[in-house]
Structure 1
Amino acid sequence: MTGTTMTGASPRAHAGGANRWVILVVLCVSLLFVALDATVLHVAIPSVTEDLRPGPVELLWIVDAYPLVCAALLILFGTLGDRIGRRRVLLLGYAIFGAASAVAALAESASVLIAARALLGIGGAMIMPATLSILRVVFPDRRERATAIGIWTAVAAIGAATGPVLGGFLVQHFWWGSVFLINIPLMALILPLGRWILPESKGSSDGPWDVLGALMAAGGILAVVFGVKRLGTGVGLLDGRALAALCIGAALLILFVRRQRRREHPLIDIGMFSRPAFSTSVGCIIVAMLALVGLELIAVQYLQLVLGLSPLQTGLRMLPLTFAAMAAGATGSYTIRWLGPRRMVCTGFVLTAGAVLLLVLMGQTDWPALMLVSFVMLGFGLQTTLFAAYESMLSEAPPERAGGAAAIGETSYQLGAGMGIALLGSVMNAAYAPGLAAVRGVPAESSAAASHSLGEAYDVAERLGGPAGQALRAAARTSFVHGVHVTLFVSAALLLLGAVAGLRLPRIMDCSAAGQDRDAEPEPLREERPSQGRPHAVKVPAPARPGDVATVESGRTGH
């Protein structure tokens, strides 16, 4: 992009003064919905399984259709917002999100629920890029932007962590569909509020919109994840369908990268990944979200099915994670100036790995104190990593690629969430199923059915009854705890690899004049004469990365 046009009703659309913090509140509420829906269904999974009776693959798709579709379409809708207006795309995303929530709440089959979750992903893909793009416009100063990013990333983590709490309350008092109904009145409120408060902004970049490239990326991501999930069901490493999906996905992603290198107006500037700090930050975001969402899904099942907690009790047990994430986000702008991006990311990963290894001590008995300490470390560590990774990524991107960098960061966030469910869920299933292969007194077909999930094992055991049912139930619990331990060790290894990768990040956060963009000269603000009764438009310079200095004049905002 070579510039950005902002339009909005005066004086509401002006980002100067305290009003920009009001805009941040609206943007964070928007993001909260997207992050919340990534995890709000986790506590309701047992109820959904009992009501809709999905198969093991359908169950995984019910959970991760939303983050995967969202991740696949973020680049597409991010570039669309640059052309037709980010606020316009954001408001359309609100409407789609609300409609999809109604369909999901009333779904009577697993296929309808999967389709509704995919539609929610489309709405989320419209909302996420617009929030960060508008944030960049209204917070041009790097220090203020660091504070805003800290709040923004904290809200994302809070949404993901609060999902099980809210979901547990709703499932316990109503039915599983209520976890989606809450979106409808909130969207009805924020749609007119956003239209009234948020400024409009457009990138001035021309060129064709590469829909084919976006579809190639989406197909590649979905194929790879399908292959990983297929392998996780215990079909074997040489399963033809799994290998075919992995090969097709890899081929599509390779073709996508080659296509982006050749195009004059690519969806993603592949050259940005040649910058070590940028590519490392993107990888750290993926690993952090992979750990957060994947472990959260497993923890919810453990708390309910092994320890026997209610959905509400499960959500309350995970509240410390939320509060710790809030604390890390609130102090992030100070921490990064003190530690620097490198040490902040590495410290966050190591702290999170320690929390995961502490959870390995959990068995079939409840240790509330141990879980409290682990969840506090987990929330604080992951949020610390996410904050530093986001700030480093946005600072490293060149000014003319600011919008693309924002979309890449949000794609990484959602892709990490989806891959966490797929990868860690697959590891969990692969470690759980073998323990039920030969339970004494249990028919082979019953053992095969019980190997799909712990909830299904309990159902099979209840139908069998007698000593065989008791033996199957005990074996399923033991096997599930073993699967949790294996998954935790895999997660800790991934987190420590993330800490090693974080050593490539800059040692300090450069806020000096030397750290400003050298290649972007500010151009004068040009105000167009508005027609009567219509909002005026202001032409502002190219979107700047964190570190650019803004000039805020009375009656107009630019950077």
Structure 2
Amino acid sequence: MRRPVSRWTVLTVLCLSLLIVALDATVLHVAVPALTEDLRPGDQQLLWIVDAYPLVAASLLILFGTLGDRIGRRRVLLTGYALFGAASALAAFAPDAHVLIGARALLGAGGAMIMPATLSILRQDFPDRRERAMAIGLWSAVAAVGAAVGPVLGGFLVEHFWWGSVFLVNLPLMAVLLPAWPLLPESRSDAEGPWDLPGAAAAALGVLGCVFGIKRLGGGTPPAAGSVWLPLLAGAALLVFFVRRQRRRAHPLIDVRMFGNAAFSAAVGCIVLAMLALVGLELIAVQYLQLVLGLSPLRTGLRLLPLTFAAMAAGLAGSRMLLRLGPRRMVAAGFTLTALAVLGLTAMGQHDRPWLLTTAFVLLGFGLETTLFGAYETMLNETPAHRAGGAAAIGETSYQLGAGMGIALLGSVMNAAYAPHATGISPRDSAAAGRSLGEAYDIAERLGGAPGSALRHAARHSFVQGMHVTLLVSAALLVGGACAALRLPRVMECEAAGAGAVAKAAAQTVRPASDPARHRTATVAVRSGRAGD
């Protein structure tokens, strides 16, 4: 008989798994100039090198999340490890852009296997809600660490080795994780009936079409209408087909009736709104720091570190905050704090104000992580354990969709508001300068003299004004998120000791019981850290 393994040991393995995915999501950014010089990709190829990973990962989350529920979450996670390792080696030694694009797509498939599996195993192995909240806090803190370390580690490797070395950092972690597979518990859904392959394919292609169309809509140059609306409409039609098919099936991949649960649907909506409001700001912040304030890439990364450290702190303190405040107040407070931080950033102009910037980033990181923590924890808690893989996939897909929509929406607002005008500039140069601040600087350098100086000043001024408008739109979205959080539960309900023991015993079985409600027979409402009557 298999010897039981500590849940915290399992959590360590899951966090290392997440660290790989989080690192790979950001480590490539600093290597793009070096690989561009070496492989000489075209504009479209470079776009696919960057976007292949998130596009494929987002489209396959539902497919692999629900597959794990059926055939075993550990099995899918181990397959993701193997695919991620092989794709990393292929990407590191890619001889041309086409091979690198294919390797990045395989990395996305591996990430889509790993991400929902880690959350669903965590949901299964931590039946007690207080322990699960602490585990989610550690899980999310590791994600913040990976996102922060990625660019720094990538910059060091590119400086001392070659661009392919940024992918090889995955291999030592894989060497640690693969031998640790016996430590992970196996679990699967007890649902009968065959796995719905047509439904899974429709969900994958539908999400792919929507995310691709949204990304094209948020691109720097105006895309052809067909390249935006055709994939968007096709993706939306496939998702409608998927939902209708799941409603008719006796054993659906995802029980869409979960969205009838106000707390579950509100938590998913909060994840979308948080990412919708904030992801586009990251791109604008990097441009502001480098092009307006004139900071180097290294100093830009250092300026963003307080945001990451604040997010880590919020993740580690999340379980205690959730216990004291409850989901509704915690998520609403996180949205409100983030909105205040975004409004504070509107005081930034063409001159550096480091203390204001650092304070705003700290508040923004803490508020954002507080919001996402409360939303993810509530979403998982409102999901039956045997549906954990599908719920985790919904959460991660909502994250990706919100991120894509945020880049498209806020990028469009920024592009509309940014319109530099300077005297003595030809209409052709003026139109080119209106595409981006970087292009305006290139044109200003080419023109030189008074016209170049005037264009540079006008472009900086217009960019800052456009940034302020974008920040106000983002703050309005965050206020909308705070309103949506009012549909979340007011208090955190935790299982009493007797019910927790039953749930713990059930969690150790290979197939969890089909009726998770019987494990919730005794609950106690926790207010301000104390049991209520």
TM-score, length-scaled by structure 2: 0.85
> Does the C-alpha gap of structure 1 residues 227 and 57 become closer, same or farther in structure 2, counting only changes over 3 Å?
farther
2:355 maps to 1:372: no
Structure 1 residue matching 2:374: 3-state secondary structure: helix
Q: Tell me the equivalent position of 1:99.
A: 86
Report how far residue 522 of structure 1 moved: 7.1
Q: Is the 8 A contact 1:24 1:135 kept in 2?
A: yes
Change (3 A) 1:163 1:448: farther
Q: How does 1:399-418 map to 2 (within 5 A)?
A: 399-418=385-404
Letter of the 1:492 partner, please give it: A
Letter in 2 for 1:327: A
Q: Is the 8 A contact 2:277 2:406 kept in 1?
A: yes
- Tell me, what secondary structure is at the counterpart of 1:511? strand
d(CA) in 2 for partners of 1:22 and 1:181?
Answer: 26
- CA 1:522–1:379 in structure 2 vs 1: closer, same or farther (change >3 Å)? closer
**1:378-410: CA deviations, max 9, x gaps?**
111011111111121122223443332222223
| 2:382 alignment partner, one of 396, 402, 411 | 396
- How far is the alpha carbon of 1:221 from its aligned partner? 2.8
Match of 2:531 in 1: none
Alignment partner of 2:493: what SS? coil
Describe how 1:177-196 pairs up with structure 2 within 5 A: 177-192=164-179, 194-196=180-182
2:19 matched to 1:32?
Answer: yes
SS in 1 for 2:26: coil
Find the partner of 1:81 among 68, 71, 84. 68
Is 1:269 paired with 2:252? no
Give, in whole Å, the separation in 2 of the partners of 1:462 and 1:48: 26
1:309 paired to 2:307: no
- In 1, Cα distance between the equivalents of 2:427 and 2:62? 50
Relative contact order (alpha carbons < 8 A, sep ≥ 6): 1 or 2 greater?
Answer: 1
Alignment gaps of 5+ in structure 1: 1-8, 528-536, 551-559
User: In structure 2, what is the Cα distance between the partners aligned to 1:526 and 1:505?
Assistant: 26
Post-superposition Cα deviations, 1:366-388, rounded to whole Å, max 9, x if no partner, equal 21111110111111101111111
Aligned mates of 1:419, 1:500 — CA distance in 2: 20
Match among 385, 399, 414 for residue 428 of structure 1:
414
Match of 2:425 in 1: 441
Residue 147 in structure 1 maps to residue 131 in structure 2: no
RMSD between aligned residues = 3.6
- Structure 1 residue 435: deviation in Å? 3.0
Letter in 2 for 1:90: L
Q: Give the conservation status (yes or no) of the 8 Å contact 2:386–2:514.
A: yes
Give per-residue Cα distances to partners, 1:465-518, cap 9 Å, x unaligned: 55555454444434433333333222212111111100011110112559979x
TM superposition shift of 1:298: 2.6
Find the partner of 2:113 among 103, 108, 126: 126
Alpha-carbon distance, 1:335 to partner: 0.8
Tell me which amino acid in the other structure corresponds to 2:288.
Y
Partner Cα distance (1:159, 1:477) in 2: 33
- Which amino acid in 2 is paired with 1:242? V
What is residue 502 of structure 1 aligned with on the other side?
485
Give distance in 1, aligned partners of 2:406 and 2:12. 28
The separation in 2 between residues aligned to 1:525 and 1:337, in whole angstroms, is 24
Are residues 1:68 and 2:55 paired?
A: yes
1:323 is aligned to 309
Change (3 A) 1:128 1:460: same
Partners of 1:162 and 1:322 within 8 A in 2: no
Percentage identity across paired residues of the two chains: 69
Amino acid of the structure 1 residue aligned with 2:463: F
Shift in Å at residue 25 of structure 1?
1.0
Conserved? CA contact 2:148–2:308, under 8 Å: yes
Taking structure 1 as reference, are residues 439 and 119 closer, same or farther at Cα in structure 2, changes over 3 Å only? Answer: farther
Matching residue of 1:556: none
Match of 2:341 among 327, 351, 355: 355
Q: Aligned-pair distance for 1:27? A: 0.3
In structure 2, give the amino acid aligned to 1:440.
Answer: G
Distance 1:235 1:143, change over 3 A: closer
How many positions carry a matched residue from both structures? 522
Q: AA paired with 1:503?
A: L
Alignment match of 2:190 (pick from 204, 216, 234): 204
Tell me how far apart the structure 1 counterparts of residues 147 and 73 of structure 2 sit (CA, whole Å).
24
Which letter maps to 1:481?
V
> Whose helix proportion is higher, 1 or 2?
2
Q: What amino acid is aligned across from residue 486 of structure 2 in structure 1?
A: L
* Deviating more after overlay: 46-55 vs 320-329: 46-55
SS of residue matched to 2:187: strand
- 1:490 aligns to 2:473 (yes or no): yes
Question: Which range moves more in the overlay, 53-62 or 240-249?
Answer: 53-62
| Separation (CA, whole Å) in 1 of partners of 2:27 and 2:515 | 34
**Normalization by structure 1: what TM-score?**
0.82
Match of residue 159, structure 1, among 138, 146, 164: 146
User: Partner of 1:203: helix, strand, or coil?
Assistant: coil
Deviations 1:288-342 (A, max 9, x none): 2344543223322322233222222222211111211121111111111111100
Q: How far did residue 120 of structure 1 move?
A: 1.8
Distance in 1 (CA, whole Å) between partners of 2:458 and 2:137 is 45
- Ranges in structure 2 where 5+ consecutive residues have no aligned partner: 523-533
Measure the CA separation in 2 of the matches of 1:413 and 1:492.
18
> Which range is displaced more, 381-390 or 248-257?
248-257
Query: 1:387–1:546: structure 2 CA closer, same or farther, 3 Å change rule?
Result: farther
SS at the partner of 2:188? strand
Quick one: distance in 2 between partners of 1:161 and 1:485? 26
**Residues 372, 522 of structure 1: alpha-carbon distance in 2 compared, 3 angstrom cutoff:** closer
Contact 1:523 1:540 in 2 (8 A): no
Deviates more, 1:147-156 or 1:196-205: 196-205
Judging changes above 3 Å, is the alpha-carbon distance between structure 1 residues 441 and 55 closer, same or farther for their aligned structure 2 residues?
Answer: farther
